[in-house]
Each structure stands twice: as C-alpha cells, then as structure tokens.
Amino acid sequence: MPHPNGMELATLAAAGYFESLRLTKEDLERGAQYQANLKREGMMASATDLQGYLRSLEMRAIWNRFDRLGQARIVQLINKTNQFNLTTRRYSEAEIAAMQSSTDVFTLQARLEDIFGDNGMISALVCRQTGQCWEVDTWIMSCRVLGRRVEETILQYLVAQARLRGITEIIGRYIPTAKNGLVRDHFSRLGFVQTGSQDGETTWQLAVSSYCEKNLPLKVDLQRELKLTSAG
C-alpha cells in the first residue's frame, strides 16, 4: 500500500533521502549500546567525584589508521556528524579509501570500550601535512562519549605520533555552522593558541614541543598503538 503522501518506501530509498543505507556493526549493536549507556548513567548518578567515576569505567581506547574494515563506519560518521565536527567537511567512500594510501595524510579512527561494553567507533580524525606542519582537516566525535576526556586522549596520542614523524606544529580550524557551536572552544580547551579569526572562523596553533602529557583516565590498546606507529 502506498505511503500516505504518495511516495513508497522504495522510492524514498532510491532518491537518497536516508543518510546511510549500509548497516554497520554499530548500527546492529545500537540496542545493546543504549542499555549500556543506561548503566553508565546509573553509575555516574551515584558517584561522588567525576574523575573517580571515569576511572571506575576502566575505559580502553583502541586506535588504528583508516582501513577497509572500518571504512563504511568512518564514512557514515563523517557524513552524519554535525555537532562535534570542527569543519563539517564531507567525504565519499572513495575519498576515504584514497586517504589510506596517501603519505601526506595522517588518519585515526578510535573505538572506546569500558566495563559496560563496546561503545563502537566514536571518533575519526584527518590531518594533512605541509612541511613540518599537520593541519586538522577533520575531527569528529560521537556526542555520547562527551565528558569522558576522550578528546584529550586523542590529542595526546596525536602529539606522540607527530613527534615520531618530525611534525613541529599542529594547526586547528573551527568553521562555524548552525549546529556545531558545541565545539567552538574545542581547541582553546585543549591548549591551542588562537592565531586568526574571520567571519566566525578561527584558526589555532599548538607547538608540539610545548605539549605536556596528562594523567588521563583512559588506557590505550598497545597492540593497535604499535601497529599504528609502525605503519607511518
């Protein structure tokens, strides 16, 4: 029976009204992730201090470069994320695939696990290299992991990788949209220095040599870390 507005579901799908027609592992596990989030919220409600709560989650961050296994989810995240998205640049699957073999592009995909389960892929980052500088082309993160210091952990890892590759500075850019005001002060909170501003767009700089490591409540998957380091 046709849809009340005269368009059948098949027509809607063919027209591309849905952002993603490919089911990823995270799509299939969304129900379990929702239940796990309820448990986290329950633990947080009974916690007496934030840092104690974060450490009690026993979070583990799992890093890897962009790869074919995570490619569909990376494309989905980049093209659906609006709030925690510094530049709101969109990329096709072919463009993401090309980044995997480029020597001038550093990529990072991040998953997060804790005592309540796997949060799935929660962040993706793209840096483009010019000389001894990395510019953050894209940095997206799922809003469901806000407040867990994930972005600080990502920056700490990014700085470590920059040092290994002789990168001396990291440039950040915030391009405002109607939906990404959440991250207006993202680079400022991470210790970057503002170097420019025009029409709401801001530019930020971090000298790699000036960064001091922090004691963060996340552990990094060392096996994936070693794989990532050796892939450079």
One-letter amino acid identity for 136? V
Q: Give which of 75, 85, 106, 98 is closest to 173, Cα–Cα.
A: 85
Q: Rounded to an integer, what distance in angstroms lies between the CA atom of residue 169 and that of residue 174?
A: 17
pLDDT at 109: 95
Whether the model clears a pTM of 0.75, i.e. scores above it, the answer is: yes
Domains of the chain: 10-231 (3.40.630.30)
pLDDT at 221: 79
**Which distant-in-sequence residues (6+ apart) come within 8 Å of 194 by Cβ?**
187, 188, 202, 203, 204
Structure tokens that stand for 156 in this block: 């700490």
pLDDT at 113: 93
Secondary structure of residue 77 in the 3-state scheme:
helix
**Which distant-in-sequence residues (6+ apart) come within 8 Å of 138 by Cβ?**
78, 85, 86, 87, 89, 91, 124, 125, 126
Q: Rounded to an integer, what distance in angstroms lies between the CA atom of residue 212 and that of residue 195?
A: 20
pLDDT at 47: 67
- Going by their DSSP bridges, the two strands 218-220 and 59-64 should be labelled as parallel
Structure tokens that stand for 88 in this block: 């709101």
Q: Rounded to an integer, what distance in angstroms lies between the CA atom of residue 97 and that of residue 201?
A: 29
Tell me the mean pLDDT per 10 residues along the chain, length 232. 45 37 53 65 69 90 93 95 97 96 95 90 97 98 91 96 97 98 97 97 98 93 52 44
Secondary structure of residue 128 in the 3-state scheme:
strand
Q: How far is CA 178 from CA 36, 83, 147, 190, in A?
A: 31, 9, 22, 23
pLDDT at 98: 97
Q: Rounded to an integer, what distance in angstroms lies between the CA atom of residue 211 and that of residue 132?
A: 16
Q: Give the chain's end-to-end CA distance (angstroms, integer).
A: 55
Helix-helix angle 222-231:150-164, to 10 degrees: 40
pLDDT at 25: 55
Q: Buried b vs exposed e over 162-191: b needs ≥16 C-beta within 10 Å?
A: beeeebebbbbbbeeeeebeebeebbeebe
pLDDT at 144: 86
